Amino acid sequence: MGLIRHVFRSKFPVHVSLVYTKNAKSNFCKVPGLTVERYSSQAEVDMEVYDILKMTRGDEMVREVNKLFSRGCELWMGQLDGKLAGICWSCSRKKRSDYFVPLEESDATILSCFVLPVFRGRKIYPSMLETMVNTLLSRDQICNVYIDCKSWNTASIRGIQKAGFIPVGKAVRMVLFEHVWILWNRCKRQAA
């Protein structure tokens, strides 16, 4: 029985996720020299970016990029002094139905964030999150931006909190056959 459980958990991981939201602009985490640009399609992204991601995280990262673009998500790239420092993704409510809180038309989510190892510890992540939220709120007329991370990812939790997100709850999810199943949910939607 233990072997079956181990195989099942390795093939279909179950995670406790912490969920946060933000609905106001802020400028707490500015990093001098950091620029953040948004890309809506793969054709806009330079092949050098794919090479850097592949060297850092392998083929799995390139597959993730392709998958998220195919789902209609937008890539946000942070560059520090002209060098790729990190990536994040955003997805509007129209493109996402599998979230922890019921999303409205004016909601967006941030997902799959990654800062390259040489740029970690320099506030790149919270600065990128802040820039994304400010842009989504002002240019895209988004009212609430949600983000989640695994409960064991303390670095991500610190970055999310530094960017001014507030907790809305926690949930347990499992990915099964490329679909997210929410097994337990204690998240409450925040009013805008």
**Which pLDDT tens digit goes with each residue over 53-92?**
899 888 888 899 999 999 999 999 999 999 999 999 999 8
* CATH architecture classification, 13-185: 3-Layer(aba) Sandwich (3.40)
User: What angle in degrees, to the nearest 10, is found between the helix axes of 154-162 and 124-139?
Assistant: 50
Residue 13 — very low, low, confident or very high, per pLDDT cuts 50/70/90? confident
Q: Give the start-to-end residue ranges of the domains of the chain.
A: 13-185
CA 54 to chain centre: 19
User: Quick one: pLDDT at residue 61?
Assistant: 87
Residue 99 — very low, low, confident or very high, per pLDDT cuts 50/70/90? confident
How many Cα atoms sit within 13 Å of 26 on the Cβ side?
Answer: 16
Per-residue pLDDT, averaged over 20-45, amounts to: 94
Between these two residues, 28 and 146, which has the higher pLDDT value? 146
User: Quick one: pLDDT at residue 192?
Assistant: 53
Cβ neighbours of 137 (radius 10 Å): 19
CA distances from 2 to 7, 92, 149, 172, 173 (A): 9, 40, 28, 21, 21
Q: Is the pLDDT of residue 7 over 60?
A: no
Residue 107 — very low, low, confident or very high, per pLDDT cuts 50/70/90? very high
Instruction: Retrieve residue 175's tokens.
Output: 């990915």
User: Quick one: pLDDT at residue 140?
Assistant: 93
DSSP, collapsed to helix, strand or coil, labels residue 124 as: helix
Instruction: In whole angstroms, give the CA distance from residue 144 to residue 107.
Output: 5
Per-residue pLDDT, averaged over 127-146, amounts to: 96
Sheet holding 166-176, edge to edge: 34-39, 74-80, 83-92, 107-115, 144-150, 14-22, 166-176, 179-185
pLDDT digits (tens, 9 = 90+) for 144-185: 999 999 999 999 999 999 999 999 999 998 877 777 788 889
Q: Is the pTM of this model over 0.85?
A: yes
User: Can you list the pairs that 189-192 forms with residues at least 24 positions away whose Cβ atoms lie under 8 Å?
Assistant: 189/101, 189/102, 189/144, 190/21, 190/23, 190/144, 190/166, 192/23, 192/106, 192/143, 192/144
Handedness of CA 184, 67, 10, 148 (dihedral sign): negative
Q: Is the pLDDT of residue 117 over 80?
A: yes
Per-residue pLDDT, averaged over 34-52, amounts to: 93
User: Quick one: pLDDT at residue 176?
Assistant: 77
DSSP, collapsed to helix, strand or coil, labels residue 121 as: coil
